[in-house]
């Protein structure tokens, strides 16, 4: 079986290549990877090469396949697994494995999201990380991995119990939450989750300095207290006071944000940018026993910021960092999406074929918008949903995609996905044979 895959050799050296996969072993599974959403973590791996914590030192001679947010269909099941899995079954993979930094998308030669076919290693099957997915939209399966990251970050928050040496995990019910630099795709995922899960805050303040990102966030997740039906395009009922704040022109953002809580501060602060001033702003707005979750992964190993240790001692403020979610978090993401309580489509702003993945990954921080969704078996330039109407003036494919997205409130959707997969030009794998 041949696969066409985007492989990482070294810093900024990504190559789209067609090559042979080895025969699967009796405890492995061959999959056809249909979609993959691009992650900033893949950009960081591409920039760092073997210097990245998860990328092997010998990647230059044994390149790895990049991408880890994928949804796939089983092609062949190893002999030992035929009573558990079957051909045609749709699956998603939790790529984080307890006890190791190795992960598909960073560490393996024959499995990664930006490929047409791949082999699931036995250790992921044994650990229960290969998850069944029965949703209508394939791309929901891809987005379950990034959703699991924000779900895991939420569960990792904790608070102290006075007089006891135990921690109360998760957010405070009915408390105050701030998401700093939070109007990007992962911030949107966290907002959607926080306002529609069972345990919710009463106040959720989202800041950013990018007016365009804030405008889109307020469009897809409106800042209003509302009771809404649980259907796609209409979030489930929420009683959360959601506010968006542009801090670019505010002289003292920390003071302004504290005023919104009546001076009490925030029980949880999520920091979505690896910028010292943003971390310090988060520290400054913590309430008593407040938890700062440093979600943004810096590329600089020496990254640091000031933290008020007077408040650590007397106000029991504390900090936690999370990188990825676990299998239960991913199951929760799939369940909530399947119940239509959350709508992963709010993350997606671009779609493209596998031949667009290299340039998109290497330029990811410079491409505006949210998630970039790659469909591995088609050939298509990376295209913004907002540009579909203009592209449709000369291309009937985009004309129909625009109509289908317009019917869904401007969001990517299952109908548009089905039409794209049926009508877009197929990827020419022979073009990339090495």
125 lies in the same domain as 159: no
pLDDT of residue 230: 42
pLDDT of residue 205: 97
**Percentage of the chain with pLDDT > 90?**
85
pLDDT of residue 237: 55
Structural domains of the chain, count: 2
290 lies in the same domain as 358: no
CA angle 54, 56, 61 (to 5 degrees): 145
Q: Which residue has the higher pLDDT, 238 or 156?
A: 156
| CA-based nearest residue to 238, from 201, 267, 206 | 201
316 lies in the same domain as 367: no
124 lies in the same domain as 176: no
Q: Which residue has the higher pLDDT, 96 or 309?
A: 309
Per the prediction, the chain carries an average pLDDT of 93
307 lies in the same domain as 173: yes
Average pLDDT of the segment spanning 387-404 = 98
pLDDT of residue 228: 44
Q: Which of 201-215, 231-245, 306-320, 360-374 has the lowest mean pLDDT?
A: 231-245
pLDDT of residue 92: 94
Residue 296 is assigned to a structural domain of this protein:
yes
Kindly tell me if the per-residue pLDDT of 236 is higher than 70.
no
Average pLDDT of the segment spanning 258-278 = 97
Residue 329 is assigned to a structural domain of this protein:
no
Kindly tell me if the per-residue pLDDT of 112 is higher than 60.
yes
84 lies in the same domain as 177: no
114 lies in the same domain as 197: no
pLDDT of residue 146: 87
Q: What is the CATH number of the domain that holds 241?
A: 3.40.50.720
pLDDT of residue 238: 67
Kindly tell me if the per-residue pLDDT of 142 is higher than 50.
yes
pLDDT of residue 145: 87
Residue 270 is assigned to a structural domain of this protein:
yes
User: Of 252, 286, 321, which one is at a domain's C-terminal end?
Assistant: 321
Average pLDDT of the segment spanning 337-344 = 87
User: Of 261, 289, 321, which one is at a domain's C-terminal end?
Assistant: 321
pLDDT tens digits for range 58-85: 999 999 999 999 999 999 999 999 999 9
270 lies in the same domain as 224: yes
| CA-based nearest residue to 371, from 133, 136, 69, 45 | 69
CA 203, CA 242: separation in Å to the nearest integer?
6
| CA diameter of the chain | 69
Q: Which residue has the higher pLDDT, 324 or 232?
A: 324
Range of the domain at 46: 2-134+343-432
CA 26, CA 55: separation in Å to the nearest integer?
27
What's this model's pTM, rounded to 2 decimal places?
0.84
SS (H, E, C) the chain: CEEEEEEEEECCEEEEEEEECCCCCCCCEEEEEEEEECCHHHHHHHHHHHHCCCCCCCCCCCCEEECCCEEEEEEEECHHHCCCCCCCCEEEECCCCCCCCCCCECCCCCCCCCECEEEECHHHHHCCCEEECCCCCHHHHHHHHHHHHHHHHHHHCEEECCCCCCEEECCCCCCEEEEECCCCHHHHHHHHHHHHCCCCCCEEEEEECCHHHHHHHHHHCCCCCECCCCECCECCCECCEEEEEECCCCCCHHHHHHHCCCCCCEEEEEECCCCHHHHHHHHHCEEEEEEEEECCCCCCCCCCCCCCHHHHHHCCCEEEECCCCCHHHHHHHHHHHHCCCCCHHHHEEEEEEHHHHHHHHHCHHHCCCCEEEEECCECCCCEEHHHHHHHCCCCHHHHHHHHHHHHCCCCCCHHHHHHHHHHCCECCHHHHEC
Categorize the per-residue pLDDT at 339 as very low, low, confident or very high, splitting at 50, 70 and 90. confident
Q: Which of 103-112, 229-238, 306-315, 370-379 has the lowest mean pLDDT?
A: 229-238
CA 128, CA 81: separation in Å to the nearest integer?
12
Q: CB-based burial of residue 73 (10 Å sphere; 0-12 exposed, 13-18 middle, 19+ buried)? A: middle
Residue corresponding to tokens 């009771």: 227
Residue 173 is assigned to a structural domain of this protein:
yes
**Percentage of the chain with pLDDT > 70?**
97
Kindly tell me if the per-residue pLDDT of 199 is higher than 90.
yes
Kindly tell me if the per-residue pLDDT of 147 is higher than 70.
yes
pLDDT of residue 232: 43
pLDDT tens digits for range 5-54: 999 999 999 999 999 999 999 999 999 999 999 998 999 999 999 999 99
Average pLDDT of the segment spanning 395-422 = 97
Q: CB-based burial of residue 320 (10 Å sphere; 0-12 exposed, 13-18 middle, 19+ buried)? A: middle
23 lies in the same domain as 168: no
Residue 334 is assigned to a structural domain of this protein:
no
Q: What is the CATH number of the domain that holds 66?
A: 3.90.180.10
315 lies in the same domain as 359: no
Residue 308 is assigned to a structural domain of this protein:
yes
pLDDT of residue 19: 98
168 lies in the same domain as 243: yes
Kindly tell me if the per-residue pLDDT of 221 is higher than 60.
yes
46 lies in the same domain as 158: no
Kindly tell me if the per-residue pLDDT of 234 is higher than 80.
no
Q: In the Cβ-directed half-sphere of 423, how many Cα atoms lie within 13 Å?
A: 13
Kindly tell me if the per-residue pLDDT of 227 is higher than 80.
no
């Amino acid at each position: 079986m041949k696969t066409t895959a985007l492989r990482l050799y070294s810093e900024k050296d990504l190559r789209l290549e067609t090559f042979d996969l080895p025969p699967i072993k009796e405890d492995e599974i061959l999959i056809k990877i249909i979609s993959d959403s691009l992650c900033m973590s893949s950009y960081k791996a591409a920039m760092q090469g073997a210097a990245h914590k998860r990328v092997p030192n010998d990647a230059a001679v044994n390149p790895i396949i990049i991408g880890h947010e994928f949804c796939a269909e089983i092609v062949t099941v190893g002999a030992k697994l035929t009573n558990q899995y079957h051909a045609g079954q749709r699956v998603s993979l939790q790529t984080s494995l307890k006890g190791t930094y190795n992960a598909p998308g960073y560490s393996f030669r024959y499995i990664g999201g930006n490929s047409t076919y791949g082999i699931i290693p036995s250790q992921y099957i044994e650990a229960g990380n290969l998850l069944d997915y029965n949703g209508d939209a394939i791309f929901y399966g891809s987005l379950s991995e990034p959703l699991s990251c924000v779900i895991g970050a939420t569960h990792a928050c904790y608070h102290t119990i006075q007089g006891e040496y135990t921690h109360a995990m998760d957010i405070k019910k009915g408390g105050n939450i701030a998401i700093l630099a939070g109007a990007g795709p992962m911030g949107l995922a966290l907002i959607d989750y926080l306002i529609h899960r069972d345990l919710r805050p009463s106040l959720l303040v989202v800041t950013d300095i990018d007016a365009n990102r804030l405008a889109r966030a307020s469009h897809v997740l409106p800042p209003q207290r509302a009771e809404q039906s649980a259907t796609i395009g209409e979030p489930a009922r929420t009683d959360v006071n959601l506010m968006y704040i542009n801090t670019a022109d505010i002289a003292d953002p920390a003071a302004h944000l504290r005023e919104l809580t009546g001076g009490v501060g925030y029980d949880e602060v999520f920091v979505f940018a690896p910028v010292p001033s943003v971390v310090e702003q988060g520290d400054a707005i913590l309430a008593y026993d407040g938890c700062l979750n440093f979600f943004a992964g810096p590329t600089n190993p020496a990254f640091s910021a000031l933290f008020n240790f007077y408040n650590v001692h007397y106000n029991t403020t504390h900090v936690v960092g999370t990188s990825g979610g676990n299998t239960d978090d991913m199951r929760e993401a799939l369940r909530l999406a399947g119940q239509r309580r959350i709508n992963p489509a709010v993350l997606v702003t671009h779609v493209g074929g596998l031949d667009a993945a290299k340039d998109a990954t290497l330029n990811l921080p410079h491409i505006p918008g949210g998630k970039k969704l790659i469909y591995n078996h088609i050939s298509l330039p990376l295209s913004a949903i907002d540009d579909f109407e203009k592209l449709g003036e000369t291309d009937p494919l985009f004309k129909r995609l625009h109509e289908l997205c317009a019917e869904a409130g401007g969001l990517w959707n299952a109908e548009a996905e089905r039409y794209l997969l049926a009508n877009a030009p197929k990827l020419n794998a022979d073009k990339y044979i090495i």
